[in-house]
């Protein structure tokens, strides 16, 4: 549905915001664009929506080139920019009506019907007759989302869609976005990792204008380490245990994190199934008091930090 | 076309929802009325509409930048330009839509001064031809000012900078003919021809000529074209 082919965007100061970016988004997929601030997420989205032209390379949306067939490409897209594009003088209803007209919905009854539909799915029915100056950030964001959906586009581009929302609204918005998958092709950018894990079918991790990794969230987590991190709190004689854990075959990495009033916090990384039970037995067998044992699956966050730091290390 | 009309409607709504349109129209009518009263009291000759049109043109020069300043500056400050420019409407469509809205507002303002000539018709026997050509001239010149203002509005997100630049450029173009006497025989006539003022005088005198109408239409056309280009360059920055 979306093909980004070897795209580079250089700004006037010759700095490349995005360099040689290539990826494809199949129809019905929700793609998460993940990267630290200034990674090139917004630039890429602006090129896909046709707001900016790529310096080199080509982008196709639903088969239309975003530069040479810009109008046809734009017709396929609903776009929520970083800041919701609202007009202070227009009520939500007048605003959505304007957008619907702009998006080519000619009949008045059809526009009214679409406004009612998006108002319901974005929870803004109660503020249709208010102007944005009186709206909270959450409402403004949701009006922006409604604007992107009004013409039922095949492709939806959302730049940080959950920013400024409260936790409950974040959850509902994620649910809404997840519901868009299948029928629509969605690209969303974020620097909130759980968001990607929860809503997206595919992830692209981008840093300094380059793609570091792209896969499904599950695969990314699995391939990258596949290790669990187990944190233990114990009291007793440490040296023997440390030596055992360091040399234990199932343990990849051992760390002694801290000691507070004789309570030692140890951590190991391991890929072995049931390693928690084995560790518990071993510790107790060595006459240690076990105060706690906690497992943390490697998260997308670890993958992300690992990839981004690797990249930076390579550069230096 | 439907999309251009959508932009025009939205701009008109913005004008009339905020107090801008009312305040500017009120000031225009107040000052025009004041001059009408003065002229009516002082002169009784046939050229009084010509004087009035001259004064109204100067008032337009002063207030049209206030109408045009928000057209693009506000969109940039509000971050709505990105949405407009990714909608299925061409850059020329956006520019035309906005221009039509401000031109319609200008036309409304001018229509609201029609009671001046109506009063004259009631009181005496003014030259109808002067009235018609004068209004056409005022509208065309006002539209040229608006086009200048719309262009400066694409340059900045600050409305005041847009208005001041528009005012400066309009004033320069207006008084360009003044430099023709010192510019020599080669450049002088060219400056006079480009000057907004030189073509305006014949309208106010009731001499509606096709070449002057074409002059204003081409000035507006060129300015709109440059505005579209100014907007387009954003895509390549």
Closest to A52 in 3D by CA, of A66, A37, A62? A66
Least confident window among A17-26, A297-306, B18-27:
A297-306
Tens of pLDDT along A171-184?
Answer: 888 888 888 888 89
Closest to A169 in 3D by CA, of A147, A133, A137? A137
Contact A104 B10 (CB under 8 A): no
Percent of chain A with pLDDT over 90: 35
Tens of pLDDT along A55-106?
Answer: 999 999 999 999 999 999 999 999 999 889 999 999 999 999 999 999 989 8
What integer is the mean pLDDT of A138-161? 92
Predicted confidence at residue A99, as pLDDT, reads 95
Tens of pLDDT along B152-198?
Answer: 999 999 999 999 999 999 999 988 888 877 877 778 888 888 888 88
Predicted confidence at residue A174, as pLDDT, reads 87
DSSP per position, B106-136: HHHHHHTTTHHHHHHHHHS---HHHHHHHHH
Q: Do A47 and A216 touch, CB atoms closer than 8 A? A: no
What integer is the mean pLDDT of B63-69? 94
Q: Do A162 and A195 touch, CB atoms closer than 8 A? A: yes
Tens of pLDDT along B186-221?
Answer: 788 888 888 888 888 888 888 888 889 999 999 999
Predicted confidence at residue A273, as pLDDT, reads 76
Predicted confidence at residue B114, as pLDDT, reads 92
Predicted confidence at residue B165, as pLDDT, reads 96
B85 to chain A: which residues are within 8 Å by CB?
Answer: 50-51
Paired tokens of B92: 């020329």
Measured CA to CA, the distance from residue A144 to residue A96 in angstroms comes to 9
Tens of pLDDT along B88-129?
Answer: 999 999 999 999 999 999 999 999 999 888 888 888 788 888
> What is the greatest pairwise CA distance in chain A?
80
Predicted confidence at residue A312, as pLDDT, reads 63
pLDDT band for A226, please (50, 70, 90 cuts). Answer: low
Predicted confidence at residue B113, as pLDDT, reads 93
Contact A51 B235 (CB under 8 A): yes
Q: The tokens 């679409």 sit on which residue?
A: A114
Best interface-test mutation with B: which of A66, A89, A163 has the largest number of B CBs within 10 A?
A89
Burial class (CB in 10 A: 0-12, 13-18, 19+), B201: middle
Q: Do A74 and A51 touch, CB atoms closer than 8 A? A: no
Measured CA to CA, the distance from residue B100 to residue B9 in angstroms comes to 9
Asked whether residue A109 carries a pLDDT value surpassing 70, the answer given is yes
- Chain-wide mean pLDDT for chain B? 90
What ipTM score was computed for the predicted complex, to two decimals? 0.88
Task: Kindly state the DSSP code that residue B234 receives in the 8-state scheme.
Answer: G
Tens of pLDDT along A285-296?
Answer: 888 888 888 877
pLDDT band for A125, please (50, 70, 90 cuts). Answer: very high
Q: How far is A74 from chain B (nearest CA, A)?
A: 5
Check CB contact of B78 with chain A, cutoff 8 Å.
yes
Asked whether residue A278 carries a pLDDT value surpassing 70, the answer given is yes
Map residue B72 onto helix, strand or coil: helix
Q: The tokens 């959950």 sit on which residue?
A: A162
Measured CA to CA, the distance from residue A105 to residue A96 in angstroms comes to 11
A85 to chain B: which residues are within 8 Å by CB?
Answer: 78-80, 82-83
Residue B93: CA atoms inside 13 Å, Cβ hemisphere, count? Answer: 16
Contact B86 A79 (CB under 8 A): yes
Check CB contact of B86 with chain A, cutoff 8 Å.
yes
Q: Do A121 and A178 touch, CB atoms closer than 8 A? A: no
Q: Do A299 and A221 touch, CB atoms closer than 8 A? A: yes
Predicted confidence at residue A45, as pLDDT, reads 93
What integer is the mean pLDDT of A41-58? 91
Beta-strand runs (E) in A160-262: 185-190, 202-207, 210-215, 228-235, 251-260
Predicted confidence at residue B236, as pLDDT, reads 74
Best interface-test mutation with B: which of A101, A129, A131 has the largest number of B CBs within 10 A?
A101
Predicted confidence at residue A130, as pLDDT, reads 92
Closest to A251 in 3D by CA, of A217, A211, A278, A286? A278
| pTM for the full predicted model | 0.84
Contact A46 B82 (CB under 8 A): yes
pLDDT band for A166, please (50, 70, 90 cuts). Answer: confident
Name the residue facing B2 among A52, A82, A101 (closest C-beta): A101
Best interface-test mutation with B: which of A70, A72, A85, A143 has the largest number of B CBs within 10 A?
A85
User: Given phi > 0 = left and psi -120 to 50 = alpha, else beta, which region is A253?
Assistant: beta
Beta-strand runs (E) in chain A: 2-10, 16-25, 30-34, 56-61, 64-65, 77-80, 155-159, 185-190, 202-207, 210-215, 228-235, 251-260, 263-270, 289-297
Percent of chain B with pLDDT over 90: 61
Closest to A90 in 3D by CA, of A144, A132, A122? A132
**Residues B192, B194, B198, B203, CA torsion sign:** positive
Predicted confidence at residue A218, as pLDDT, reads 77
Contact A88 B78 (CB under 8 A): yes
Paired tokens of A158: 């959302």
Asked whether residue A316 carries a pLDDT value surpassing 60, the answer given is no
Paired tokens of B140: 């065309």
Tens of pLDDT along B70-84?
Answer: 999 999 998 999 999
Check CB contact of B237 with chain A, cutoff 8 Å.
yes
Asked whether residue A310 carries a pLDDT value surpassing 70, the answer given is no
Predicted confidence at residue A225, as pLDDT, reads 58
Predicted confidence at residue B62, as pLDDT, reads 93
């Amino acid at each position: 549905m979306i093909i980004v082919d070897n795209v580079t965007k250089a700004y006037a100061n010759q700095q490349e915001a995005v360099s040689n970016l290539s990826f494809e988004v199949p129809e019905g997929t929700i793609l998460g664009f993940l990267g630290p601030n200034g990674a090139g997420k917004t630039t890429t989205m602006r090129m896909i929506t046709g707001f900016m032209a790529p310096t080199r390379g080509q982008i196709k949306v639903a088969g239309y080139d975003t530069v040479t067939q810009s109008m046809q490409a734009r017709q396929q897209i609903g776009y929520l920019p970083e800041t919701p594009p609202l007009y202070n003088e227009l009520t939500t209803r007048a605003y959505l009506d304007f957008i619907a007209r702009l998006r080519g919905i000619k009949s008045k009854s059809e526009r009214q019907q679409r406004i009612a539909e998006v108002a319901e799915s974005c929870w803004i029915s109660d503020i249709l007759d208010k102007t944005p100056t009186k709206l909270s950030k959450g409402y403004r964001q949701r009006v922006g989302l409604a604007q992107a959906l009004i013409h039922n586009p095949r492709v939806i581009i959302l730049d940080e869609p959950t920013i400024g929302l409260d936790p409950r609204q974040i959850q509902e918005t994620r649910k809404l976005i997840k519901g868009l998958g299948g029928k629509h092709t969605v690209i969303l950018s974020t620097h909130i990792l759980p968001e990607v894990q929860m809503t997206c079918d595919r992830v692209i991790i981008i840093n300094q204008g380059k793609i570091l990794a792209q896969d499904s969230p599950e695969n990314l987590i699995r391939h990258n380490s596949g290790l669990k991190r187990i944190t233990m709190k114990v009291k007793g004689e440490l040296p023997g245990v440390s030596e055992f854990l360091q040399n234990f075959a199932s343990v990849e990495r051992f760390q002694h994190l801290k000691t507070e009033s004789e309570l030692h916090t140890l951590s190991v990384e391991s890929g072995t199934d049931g390693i928690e039970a084995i560790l518990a037995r071993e510790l107790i067998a060595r006459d240690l008091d076990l105060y706690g044992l906690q497992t943390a699956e490697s998260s997308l966050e670890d993958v992300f930090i690992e990839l981004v730091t690797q990249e930076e290390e390579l550069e230096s | 076309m439907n999309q251009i009309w959508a932009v025009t409607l939205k701009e008109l709504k913005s004008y009339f929802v905020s107090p801008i349109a009312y305040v500017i129209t009120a000031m225009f009518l107040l000052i025009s009325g004041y001059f009408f009263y003065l002229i009516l009291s002082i002169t009784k000759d046939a050229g009084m509409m010509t004087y009035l049109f001259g004064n109204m043109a100067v008032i337009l020069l002063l207030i049209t930048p206030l109408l045009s300043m928000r057209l693009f500056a506000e969109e940039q400050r509000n971050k709505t330009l990105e949405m407009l420019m990714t909608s299925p409407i061409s850059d020329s469509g956006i520019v035309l839509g906005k221009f039509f809205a401000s031109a319609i507002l200008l036309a409304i303002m001018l229509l609201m001064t029609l009671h001046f000539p109506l009063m004259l018709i009631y009181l005496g026997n003014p030259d109808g031809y002067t009235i018609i050509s004068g209004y056409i001239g005022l509208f065309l010149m006002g539209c040229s000012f608006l086009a200048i203002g719309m262009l400066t509005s694409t340059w900045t997100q600050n409305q005041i900078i847009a208005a001041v630049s528009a005012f400066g450029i309009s004033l320069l173009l207006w008084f360009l003919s003044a430099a023709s006497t010192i510019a020599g025989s080669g450049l002088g006539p060219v400056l006079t021809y480009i000057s907004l003022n030189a073509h305006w005088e014949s309208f106010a005198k009731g001499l509606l000529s096709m070449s002057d109408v074409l002059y204003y239409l081409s000035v507006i056309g060129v300015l709109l074209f440059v505005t579209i280009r100014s907007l387009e360059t954003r895509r390549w920055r």
